[in-house]
Structure 1
Amino acid sequence: MDEHPTHALDEDQQIAASLPAVIGPYRILGVLGEGAMGRVYLARETHPPREVALKVMRGLSRTAWERFHREIDLLGQLEHPGIVRLYAAGEDVVGGLVAPWFALEVVRGPDLHGYLQRDQPDLRARITLLAKLARAVDYAHRRGIVHRDLKPSNVLVDEHGQPKILDFGIARLHGDEGGQMTQAGQVMGTLPYMSPEQLAGNTRDVDARSDVYALGAIGYELLSGQLPHPRLSTSTLFEALDIVRRGNPEPLERVNKQARGDINLVVMKALAGEPAQRYDSAAGFAEDLEAILESRPIRARAPSWTYRSGRFIRRNRTLSAAVAVVFVALVTATIISSLAAQRARVALAQAQARANELSAVNGFMERMLTAADPEQAQGRDLRVRDILDVAAADLDGAQLPASAVARLQQILGVTWLGLGDGTRAGAVFTAALAHADLPAAQRDELLLGRARSAIIAGDYASGEQQLGQLRTRRATLAPALQIAMDESAAELLRESGKQKQAIAVLRQLLPQARQQLGANSQRSLGLQLQLSSALQLDGDYAGALEVIRDAAARHERVLGAKHPQTLYAWNQLGIVENKVGHADAAEAAFRRAAQGRLAVLGESHPATVMSQFNLGSFLIEHGNAKDGAPMVQRASTWFDANRPDGDSKALVARSVLAYALEDLGDLDGAERLLRGLLGTQERLGGPGAPDTYAPRNNLGMLLMKRGRYADALAEFDTLSQQVRQRLGAEHPFAAIFASNRGECLAKLGRLDDARRVLEDSHARLLKRFGAEHARTRTAAQRLAEVYARLGMSAQAQALQMPASKTD
C-alpha cells in the first residue's frame, strides 16, 4: 500500500546510468527514489534556476493514471509550509512511452522515522513537530481535501525542522466518493495508521476525523517509539480490523512516563475508536498540542465513565444485558423514595430565595429607571452613563441581600459592556464576584463577563486567565454558556493575532450555536461576523466575503437596519469588499456603518470610533487624505487615551496617520511617527495581528520615496522574515510586501533579484486576486519595467498596462 518513495536525498539511491537527459523542461541529475507507480528524479529547472523532485509515472493502468492526475489536481490547490509544493505538471515521452510528470520542491531532509533516528529530538521538539504537522493537515481539510494515507514515510522533515506532507495519491475531496478510484468496501491506506472506519472500507464515513486518527497514531509513535497497535504492522486486513475494534491502545503515559498528563489525554483522544470521540478537526488537535507547549489548559478530557462502559458493553453484550436487569431492579426503588423528599425541601428553599432576590432586584431597577423621569431629573438630560453612575452609587449603600446585589452588579456590568467600556464593566463584575456563596451558575456568568470586559479593554492576558478558570469546569456549564465562552475564546484568539486557531474554533462553534440556539439567534449571527473577521485577517478574502455578505443580509432581515450588530456587519463588509478591490461597494458599506453608529451609539462609543477610523483609512488609501486624515487623527487620539500601551488598534491608527502625512507632503513627520510606533512594537515583542505588519512596510515605501533604497531594503528584508515566520508564506501580505521589496531591489539595480521576487509575487497575487485587482496590476507593472531593463521586451510587452497607486 506504500506506493510513494521518499524525496529525501540519498546518494546510495542515485543511479549513474540509464538516466534520460531531459524530461519536459528539466535536466535530469539523478534518482531520488522509486515506487510501484514510477520514479522520482532529482532534476534542475532553468527558469527559475532551482532543483526539483520530478515524479514521473511509468504505469499505464487507468487507475494509476487517475491517481497520478488526481494528486496533481489536489496538490495544485495546496500551498502551505507543511505541504510539499507543486511547481508544474505535464507529459513527455520517456523510454518510448508517454509519461505524465509533475515537479515538486526538493525537501533536503529524511522522512519522519529517519529524522527521529538522526536528530533524537526531545519531547518538546516532538510535540512541536506534531503540532506543525496537524496545522498542515488542517490547511488541507479547510480546502476540502482528506489525505487518507498519513504516515511517517509520507512526512519529510527539512533542515529547519519543518515537516512537509507528500503523496496525495489516494486523497479525496470531503464529501466526494473519489470518482472511480474508491468504491464501497475498498480499503486504501497503510494499516497501522488507518482509522477503524477506514479499515472497514466505509468510504462515506472517512472524513477529516480519519486523518486526525492517523495524526494520533503518528503522535503515539513519535512520543513512545512504538505503534498504538504494534500487531498491525504484521497483520492481515481482517486481523487488523478485529484488533482495532476489540482492543484499545495502551495509554501513552504507560509506555512513556514523560508523556503523562495532558499530552497523554490529547494523543489518546485523537486515537479514539469512535469518530465522535476524537477531535472534530486537525485544528482542534493542533490547538491542544500548542496549549501544552504554552502551558495553557487543554480542551481534551479523559474518556467519561459512560463512554468506557459503552465500549465494554459493545464487547460483552450478553453479560452486560443480564447485569443491567438485576442492577436496575435493585437500585431504582431505593433512589426514588430517598430523592423525592430531598428534592422537595431543596426546591422550596431555592424558590423562596429566588423570590426574595427578584423582588429586591425589581425594586432597585424601578428606582434606577425613575431617575430619568423629568420630576426626578429636574431638568437635566440624563444619559445612560449618568444613570449607571447613580445606580452604582446607590447600590453601594443599599440594604439588599448579597445575591440581589451581585445580580444587580451583573446587570450593570452587561450594560457597560454594551456601551463598549470594558474597564468599567470589569470593575463591576469583579465586585460581584467578591460576594460569598454565589450560585455556581451565576459565578460562571460573572467570570465570563469579566473575561469579555478584559478582551474589550485590550487586556488579552487577563482575558485568557479568566477564560482559563471557566475551562476547568466546562463540563458543568450550561450549553448556552459553553457557546458564549467559546465565542469569547475565539474573539480573544482573533484580537491577539491567532487567526487560524480562531477560525478553527468558529467553524466548529457556529453549527453548534445554530443547532442549539437557532440559525437566526443573535449569538449565531454574531459568530458569523466573527468568522468573517478571522477569515479576512487570515487572508482568505474570498471566504470572508461569502460569509459577510450572507451575514449582513441576515442581520438586516432579523435584527433590523439600525441594530448595533447589523451596523457591525456593514463595517465588516466594507473591510472585506475593500480587500478584494471593490472600492465603490466598500465605501458605501463604510459610510452606512459610520453614519448608523454615530446616530445609534454616539460619537464616543468604541464602535463609532472604529467606523470613523475605517472610513478615514479608506479615503486616505484611495487618494483623499484631506478628508480622511482628520477622521484617523481623532480615532488615533481616542485609541491612545483608551487602549493599553502597545495596543494593535492604536499602533495601526498611527501607521495610517503616517501614511496620510506622507500623502500630504510631511515626510519628516511621517517617518518620525513610523519609527516611534515601530520602536513601541518591537519593545512589546514585535507585530502580532496581520494589520500590525503595515507600519514597517509603510516605512520602507517612505524611505524609497526619499531615495534611501538601501535603508528601505533593510526594512523590507526584516518584514519578509517576520511575515513568513508569523503569518505564513501563503498569507496575501507575503505577496503584497514582496512586490514592494521587488521594486526596491530594482531601484538598487539588482535586476535579476528583482525579477525573481516580482515573478513570484505577481504569480501569487494573480492566483489570489485575479489580473484586474490593483495589487496584481501594480506587481505586473513593476515586473514589466524590470523585464524591459533586462532586455526581455517580449515578456515586458505581455505585462504592460497602466500603473496603479503603489501599496
Structure 2
Amino acid sequence: MTLKQHCGDDDVLLTQVQAMLVEDRNQEESLEHDLVAFAQSFVEGERERSPFQQMEQIGPYRLVRLLGEGGMGFVYLAERVDIGGLVAIKFLRDAWVSPERRRRFAREQKTLAQLKHPAIAQIYDANALQDGTPWFVMEYVDGIPLTKYWEDRKGTVQECLELFRTVCEVVLYAHRRAIIHRDIKPSNVLVTSGGTVKLLDFGIAKQLAEDPLSAEVTLTVLHPMTPQYAAPEQQTGAEVGVFTDVYALGLLLYEMLAGELPFDKDDFARESPRRLPIEQTTKRLSGLLNRGEWADLNVLCLTAIRFEPEFRYASAEAMIRDVDAFLQKRPLAARAVNSIYRIRKFAARRRVEIVYAAIAILVFIALSSYFAIHLRQARDAAIAEAARTERIQQFTSNLFRGNESSVGPAEDLRVKPLLDRGREEASSLNSDPDMQADMKETLGEIYRKLGDQGHAEELLTASLAWRESRAKDLPRKYVQNLIELAGLRTDEAKLDDAERLARKAVDVSRSIPVRPEDKARPIAANALMVLGTVLEAKGSYPEAAKALTDALRLRQQSTAADADTALNMRELANVHFYQGHYTEADALNQQVLEMHRAFYGMKHPEVAEDLNNLGAVQLELGNLKQAEANYQQCVAIAEAWYGLENPKVAEDLTSLARVLIREKRYQDAKLPLNRALMIQERTHGHDHPAVASALNELATMELQEETYVAAERHFSEALGIWRVIYGESHQFIGVGLSNLGSVYMSEKDYPKAEAMYRQALQVFIKTVHEGHLNTGIAHLKLGRAMLRQKRYADAEAESLQGYATLNALVLPSNGFLKAAKTDLVEIYMGLNRREDANRFRSN
C-alpha cells in the first residue's frame, strides 16, 4: 500500500510524513561515528569554544580575532596579507555532524552571491579546510546593531522612520530576488559610524522557488532562529513567506521606537502585542507627536506584527508605502479610513495651501462680478492660446517617451517632417517671444536626441538668448535651457563650455525659491546632474560623484522615483565604472534597468543604454559571453528605435565590436566597427571621443592581426583626438599611451614599449588610482617589457603589483590575469626560484 493510500484524504498528514522522510534521508546517523570521538567533540566544544582559534592563517587570510559565533558557525575577523584589507571569515561549526548543515552553509554562500546591493555584506571567496570544514569570506562591517545606533542618536520620529525605511528597502531587494531572510534582528542589521546600513547573516535564508519537499523548510521541520524575533509561523513550523520578514521588520521598528519588544520575553503566543508606551517612546525621540500621529505609529507597528500573516502588510513594499505616507502626512493604507481621518490628514499636509485657497476664493468672489464682463473675452483668448501651446509642446515632448502608439520610432518618416514643420512654426511666433522660446527649446532637445546637432544648436542657442533677458522673471525656464545646452555641448565634446553652462545652471537654481510642490527641488537636482555628467566626461570623477550624489539626495526627498532619478543613478554608476568600482556600478545599473523597463517597456532606447552599461562591466570582469549578449540586445533596440545611421546606434556598434575583438572574432567585428566609425565621423566630425573610441578598437583589431603599421597609425590618431579634447590629465591618455606600447612590444622594440608603459602608468595613477583595473594592467605590461629584456628582478615587482590588483577585481578566466601568472612563472624561473614559479603554475 502506498503512502498516499495510508494517509487517505488527509493532505496535511501526507505533507508532514513526506517532510519527515526527506529530513530523515538528509541526516547522517550520528551513532555511525565513533561514540567516544562524538562525545569528546561536544565536551571539548564547551571547553574550547572555537576549534579554529589555534589557526593563524588560511590561504591569503590571517586570522585576527573571533568576532562571534552561533549555532551554525564561527565568524573571524581576518586580514588579507597579499593586498591588504579586513574581511570576515565564517566557518561551519561541526561540519561532519550532518550533511544538511553543509548544504545550508553552501546555500548561504549562493544566496549572498546572488545579492549585489550596497547595503548587503558581499561575499568574496569560499573554500574548505583540509578536514573538509567549509568556510567563506565576506565583507567586514564595522558597525553597531540598529537599535543601539538609534538609542545613542535619539533623533526625531521622522529620522527614525527614514533609517528604518532603508532597512525595508534592502529586505525588499532580497524579496524581489525570491529570497526570504528569516532572521532579521538588531544584531543582523548593523549601522556604520557614517550611517550606512548593512544587512548580514543569510544563514537560514530561504529561496521562494525551492521545492517544499527538497528544501530545508517544510510544515514539520523547525530550523535555527532567534525566538524573540521569530514570527509565529516560524515558532510553529508553519509555512513562511515574505510576510515572515515583514513581522521581523515590525519588531525592529517597535524596538527602535520603544526600546523594548511588544510582548514579554517568554510569551511565544504573541497574539496580543502591546501598544507603543507613549512616555517611554517620547524619551527616545526628539520632537512632539500629536494624538493622530501616535495612532498612526501604533497602526504601522502593530499591523506588521499581527499574529495572522494574512492580516499583516502583504510585503515590505506595502510597509514602505505606509512609512512614506506617515512621513508625508497622508492616510495610512493599513488604517481604516473615514472621512474625518482623511480630511484631517489632508489639512495637516496642506495647511498653507488651504489658507491661501480660502483667501483666493474670497477675493475671487468679491471681484469676479466686477471684472466678469471686461475679462471674459481676454480670458477665452488666453485659454485658447494656452491650450494650443500645451498641445504643441506635449505632442513634441512625447515623441521619444515611448508612450504614444501613434508616434513611431526615429526611422519613421513622419518624425522628421513633423519636427521641421514645428521649427518653421516656431520661427513665425515673433508676436509671442516667450512661447517661441518654449517651442525652440523643446524642438532643440528632440533634435539633440535624434543626433541632429546642427538644428539642436540653432534652436537651443536662440531659446537661451531670450531666456537670458528674462532670467529674473522666469528663472526655472532659464535654468532648464542652460541644462539642455550644457548637455548638447557635452555631446559635441566641447567640455569647457559645457562645464561653464552647467555651473551657471547650478548657481541660478540655488537662488530659486522652493515651491511647496517641489520638495525634491527637481530643477536644482537636474542642474547638479548635468554638472556631474560634464565632470565625468572630463575625468574629474570625485567631483562628478559628489555632484551626482547631491542631486540624488535632493530627488530622494520626493515620494517616488521617476525617470530623472533613473538617469541620475545611471550617471553615478558610470562614475563608479570609470573609477573601477565594478560591483557598485553593476548594482546601480541593474536597478536603473528595472526602473526603465517598468517606465517604458523592454524596447526603449533608455533600456538599450542600460544594457550597454551592464555589458561594459561584464567585459571588464572578463565575462565576454554575457557582455556580447547585452550588446547584441542594445544594438537591436537602438536600430529599431533610431534607424541605422544614428550616433547612439554607432556607440552600441563600437561596444559590440569591442567584445568581438576580445573574443578574436575579427571578421565579425569589422562590419559593425566600420559602420560605427563612418556614422560618428559624419555626425561629429573627426575630433570627437566617439570617433577616437572607434579608431582605438580598429587599431586593437589590427594589432591582433599583426598589421602593426596600421595599428600604430590608428592608436596615434585616437590619442591625438583625446589630447585635443581632454589635455594630458585624463585616463584615456593613459589608454592611448599603453596601446602604443603594445604595438612596440609586438614589434619587439622593448625599450620603446617600456617608456610608453611608464608614461601610461603615471597617467593612470594621477587620474584614477593605484587599485584601478587600468593601473593594474599597466603594471603588468611594464613588467612584461622588462621581462623581455631579461630584467627579472625589475619585472617581478611590476608583475606582482599588477597581479594583486587584477586578482581582486576580475574573474579567474580574465586573459590579463592568466597572462600575469604566465609572466610570473617565467620571471621566477629566470631568477632560479622554482618554488615561487610552481606556486603560480599551480594557480
Q: TM-score, normalised by structure 1?
A: 0.62
Q: Secondary structure at the residue paired with 2:602?
A: coil
Contact (CA 8 Å) 1:67, 1:181: kept in 2 or not? no
Per-residue CA deviations over 1:409-460 (Å, capped at 9, x if unaligned) read 4553333233233322222344455656599655544443333222222222
Contact (CA 8 Å) 2:243, 2:314: kept in 1 or not? no
Q: Secondary structure at the residue paired with 1:182?
A: coil
- 1:401 is aligned to 470
Per-residue CA deviations over 1:209-228 (Å, capped at 9, x if unaligned) read 889979x97x999xx9x998
Per-residue CA deviations over 1:353-409 (Å, capped at 9, x if unaligned) read 99955434279889999xxxxxxxxxxxxx967995998699769994334765654
> Aligned match of 1:467 in 519, 542, 548?
548
Contact (CA 8 Å) 1:177, 1:183: kept in 2 or not? no
Please give the alpha-carbon distance, in whole angstroms, between the structure 1 residues aligned to 2:661 and 2:282.
50
- 1:372 is aligned to none
Q: 1:208-219 maps to which residues of 2 (within 5 A)?
A: none
- 1:633 is aligned to 716
Contact (CA 8 Å) 1:620, 1:660: kept in 2 or not? yes
- 2:217 is aligned to 182
- 1:551 is aligned to 634
Please give the alpha-carbon distance, in whole angstroms, between the structure 2 residues aligned to 1:689 and 1:715.
15
CA deviation after TM superposition for structure 1 residue 278, in Å:
7.5
Per-residue CA deviations over 1:451-502 (Å, capped at 9, x if unaligned) read 3222222222332343244234213598232222222222222223222112
Please give the alpha-carbon distance, in whole angstroms, between the structure 2 residues aligned to 1:11 and 1:574.
63
1:252 to 1:82, Cα distance in 2 relative to 1, 3 A: farther
Per-residue CA deviations over 1:51-98 (Å, capped at 9, x if unaligned) read 997876566xxxx645534644664797899648543699xxxxxxxx
Tell me whether 1:737 sits opposite 2:773 in the alignment: no
- 1:421 is aligned to 494
> Aligned match of 2:242 in 205, 218, 224?
205
CA deviation after TM superposition for structure 1 residue 102, in Å:
4.0
Task: For structure 1, list consecutive stretches of 5 or more residues without a partner in the other structure.
Answer: 17-32, 41-50, 91-100, 116-121, 124-132, 157-163, 257-267, 281-299, 370-382, 761-807
- 2:404 is aligned to none
Please give the alpha-carbon distance, in whole angstroms, between the structure 1 residues aligned to 2:825 and 2:263.
53
Contact (CA 8 Å) 1:147, 1:172: kept in 2 or not? yes
Q: What is the letter of the counterpart of residue 242 of structure 2?
A: D
CA deviation after TM superposition for structure 1 residue 655, in Å:
0.9
CA deviation after TM superposition for structure 1 residue 714, in Å:
1.0
- 1:450 is aligned to 531
Q: 1:43-58 maps to which residues of 2 (within 5 A)?
A: none
- 2:485 is aligned to 412
Per-residue CA deviations over 1:4-49 (Å, capped at 9, x if unaligned) read x99x999825899xxxxxxxxxxxxxxxx99989999xxxxxxxxx
1:172 to 1:596, Cα distance in 2 relative to 1, 3 A: farther
Q: 1:54-453 maps to which residues of 2 (within 5 A)?
A: 65-66=99-100, 68-69=102-103, 71-72=105-106, 75=109, 83=123, 85-87=125-127, 102-105=132-135, 148-149=182-183, 170-173=204-207, 175-177=209-211, 179-183=214-218, 188=223, 189-191=225-227, 203-205=240-242, 234-235=265-266, 237-239=268-270, 254=284, 303-306=323-326, 314=334, 317=336, 321=338, 323-324=340-341, 327=344, 356=432, 358-361=434-437, 388=457, 400-402=469-471, 403=474, 409-432=482-505, 442-453=523-534
Contact (CA 8 Å) 2:243, 2:315: kept in 1 or not? no
1:399 to 1:544, Cα distance in 2 relative to 1, 3 A: closer
Contact (CA 8 Å) 1:746, 1:754: kept in 2 or not? yes
- 1:693 is aligned to 776
Per-residue CA deviations over 1:732-752 (Å, capped at 9, x if unaligned) read 465553443334233333223
Identity %: 18
Contact (CA 8 Å) 2:172, 2:317: kept in 1 or not? no
Q: What is the letter of the counterpart of residue 181 of structure 1?
A: E
1:622 to 1:385, Cα distance in 2 relative to 1, 3 A: same
Q: What is the letter of the counterpart of residue 542 of structure 2?
A: A
CA deviation after TM superposition for structure 1 residue 611, in Å:
1.1
1:558 to 1:252, Cα distance in 2 relative to 1, 3 A: farther
Please give the alpha-carbon distance, in whole angstroms, between the structure 2 residues aligned to 1:34 and 1:192.
18
- 1:497 is aligned to 580
CA deviation after TM superposition for structure 1 residue 525, in Å:
2.2
1:491 to 1:338, Cα distance in 2 relative to 1, 3 A: farther
- 2:35 is aligned to none
> Aligned match of 1:593 in 652, 656, 676?
676
CA deviation after TM superposition for structure 1 residue 310, in Å:
7.7
Deviates more, 1:172-181 or 1:198-207: 198-207
Per-residue CA deviations over 1:175-207 (Å, capped at 9, x if unaligned) read 445644324797754345668997896644279
Deviates more, 1:145-154 or 1:470-479: 145-154
Per-residue CA deviations over 1:147-175 (Å, capped at 9, x if unaligned) read 6557899999xxxxxxx999876444464
Contact (CA 8 Å) 2:532, 2:544: kept in 1 or not? yes
1:670 to 1:183, Cα distance in 2 relative to 1, 3 A: same
Please give the alpha-carbon distance, in whole angstroms, between the structure 1 residues aligned to 2:139 and 2:489.
56
Q: What is the letter of the counterpart of residue 467 of structure 1?
A: L
Contact (CA 8 Å) 1:194, 1:213: kept in 2 or not? no
Q: Secondary structure at the residue paired with 1:757?
A: helix
Per-residue CA deviations over 1:583-610 (Å, capped at 9, x if unaligned) read 5544554344334333443322211111
Q: What is the letter of the counterpart of residue 435 of structure 2?
A: S
Please give the alpha-carbon distance, in whole angstroms, between the structure 2 residues aligned to 1:739 and 1:145.
41
Q: What is the letter of the counterpart of residue 87 of structure 1?
A: N
Contact (CA 8 Å) 2:596, 2:606: kept in 1 or not? yes
Contact (CA 8 Å) 2:234, 2:240: kept in 1 or not? yes
1:401 to 1:140, Cα distance in 2 relative to 1, 3 A: closer
Please give the alpha-carbon distance, in whole angstroms, between the structure 2 residues aligned to 1:624 and 1:538.
28
1:422 to 1:74, Cα distance in 2 relative to 1, 3 A: same
Please give the alpha-carbon distance, in whole angstroms, between the structure 2 residues aligned to 1:632 and 1:605.
14
1:57 to 1:411, Cα distance in 2 relative to 1, 3 A: closer
1:734 to 1:669, Cα distance in 2 relative to 1, 3 A: closer
Please give the alpha-carbon distance, in whole angstroms, between the structure 1 residues aligned to 2:176 and 2:512.
46
Q: Secondary structure at the residue paired with 2:832?
A: coil
CA deviation after TM superposition for structure 1 residue 505, in Å:
1.4
Tell me whether 1:12 sits opposite 2:17 in the alignment: no
Please give the alpha-carbon distance, in whole angstroms, between the structure 2 residues aligned to 1:87 and 1:675.
38
Contact (CA 8 Å) 1:448, 1:485: kept in 2 or not? yes
Q: Secondary structure at the residue paired with 2:127?
A: strand
Contact (CA 8 Å) 1:67, 1:169: kept in 2 or not? no
Q: Secondary structure at the residue paired with 1:87?
A: strand
Task: For structure 2, list consecutive stretches of 5 or more residues without a partner in the other structure.
Answer: 1-26, 28-40, 53-67, 76-88, 146-151, 154-166, 191-197, 287-299, 306-312, 369-374, 391-428, 446-451, 516-520
Please give the alpha-carbon distance, in whole angstroms, between the structure 2 residues aligned to 1:107 and 1:482.
34
1:114 to 1:572, Cα distance in 2 relative to 1, 3 A: closer
Please give the alpha-carbon distance, in whole angstroms, between the structure 1 residues aligned to 2:174 and 2:836.
32
1:675 to 1:236, Cα distance in 2 relative to 1, 3 A: farther
Contact (CA 8 Å) 1:678, 1:696: kept in 2 or not? yes
Contact (CA 8 Å) 1:571, 1:593: kept in 2 or not? yes
Please give the alpha-carbon distance, in whole angstroms, between the structure 2 residues aligned to 1:57 and 1:650.
53
CA deviation after TM superposition for structure 1 residue 567, in Å:
1.7
Please give the alpha-carbon distance, in whole angstroms, between the structure 2 residues aligned to 1:9 and 1:82.
29
Q: What is the letter of the counterpart of residue 324 of structure 1?
A: Y
- 2:567 is aligned to 484
> Aligned match of 2:758 in 667, 675, 679?
675
- 1:295 is aligned to none
CA deviation after TM superposition for structure 1 residue 537, in Å:
2.9
